[in-house]
Amino acid sequence: MNTIDIAIRILLFVLAPAFGCLFFGIDRKLTARMQNRVGPPLLQPWYDFKKLMGKTEEIVNHIHLVFAFAYVAFIMLALGIFLMDGDLIVICFSLGASQVFLALGAFSVRSPYSHVGAHRHLLQMVAVEPLLILAAVTIKLQTGSFVLSDIYARSTYPFFGINTILLLSLPVAFFIVILATIVDTQKSPFDISTAHSEIVSGTFVEYSGPYLAITKLGHWFELSLLFAFVSIFFSSDVLWISIAGKLTLDFAVFLLILVIDNSTARLTIDRLVKFSVRIGLPLIIINIVLIVISSMGVIA
């Protein structure tokens, strides 16, 4: 990795929250159009962030803030590892650790809304994080490595005698990553731990002013990481085709999430867990079995 590569990766890391901010701006604008409204300006999330940073600091307790900063730090660590072509398992565990700190922050205050949100958040983790790790395992079985630099070394991999991109050989793993993206971005039908009409933002209810802005910044980093995860499933030996394909795939997933968000009602937490156990887990296991059979050459 030369100096130019390192500089580009650092620039992408710095610009990651801008991508997350733009995502939510486009999301709010398109959602408004789908509901026959004008909607806020495209940069409204940035205006909200600046306004929050200018508010008076109100601290519930200091440990509450420590957990908030730990949440953001582990998200940034996970994204940094991803951009440096690190290990997928380490990235998944860093992402999981950030979610644990977010729940601990919610438990550290007295608000019942915060506690309910934290309980739901942990149950979401139990339902989704194991599936995300299994998706990483599936990628490893297909590519032979958890390390992104090794995965990127080839654009196609054999699947039952046909060389194809990861998207076509690992459709269930791709589905699981989309599921994790919907859950972590708190979009319907999985906006369970922050349900505004029920528990008034849940895990974030006691954050205010600049500290709420910090959690939003972490959320923007997290979104960038999840869409970067989505981009793994397309690659090409030709650089511009690879970049165009990754961006197209990300945009397609963004539109899919937007449509799902505006056409579904919120699930209860028990239904999310049942969905993961009864549908997500069997499907990812089937995908793993197919990869193993393909690698053994049982079916040519």
260, 187 contact by CB (below 8 A): yes
Q: What is the pLDDT at residue 180?
A: 81
Supply the pTM of this predicted model: 0.85
Range of the domain at 204: 3-296
Cβ-count burial 9-48 (b if 16+ within 10 Å, e if not): beeebeebbebbbbbbbbbbbbeeeeeeeebeeeeebbeb
pLDDT in tens, the chain (300 residues): 678 888 888 999 999 999 888 888 888 888 888 778 877 888 888 998 888 888 777 777 788 888 889 999 999 999 999 999 889 999 999 998 998 888 888 888 777 877 887 888 888 888 888 888 888 999 998 888 889 988 888 878 887 778 888 888 888 888 888 888 887 777 777 766 565 555 566 677 777 788 888 888 988 998 899 899 899 998 888 788 888 989 999 899 888 888 887 777 666 777 777 878 888 888 888 888 888 887 776 443
What is d(CA 75, CA 130) in angstroms, rounded to the nearest whole number? 18
Q: What is the pLDDT at residue 198?
A: 54
3-state DSSP call for residue 234?
coil
Q: What is the pLDDT at residue 196?
A: 56
Q: Given the structure tokens 């269930």, which residue do they identify? A: 172
Question: Is it true that the peptide bond before 45 is cis, omega within 30 degrees of 0?
Answer: no
Spell out the residues 6+ positions from residue 42 whose beta carbon is closer than 8 angstroms to its own: 22, 25, 26, 29
Provide the domain count of the chain.
1
Q: What is the pLDDT at residue 91?
A: 93
Spell out the residues 6+ positions from residue 209 whose beta carbon is closer than 8 angstroms to its own: 52, 53, 55, 56, 57, 58
Q: What is the pLDDT at residue 300?
A: 37
- Spatial CA neighbour of 130 closest among 86, 165, 87, 99: 99
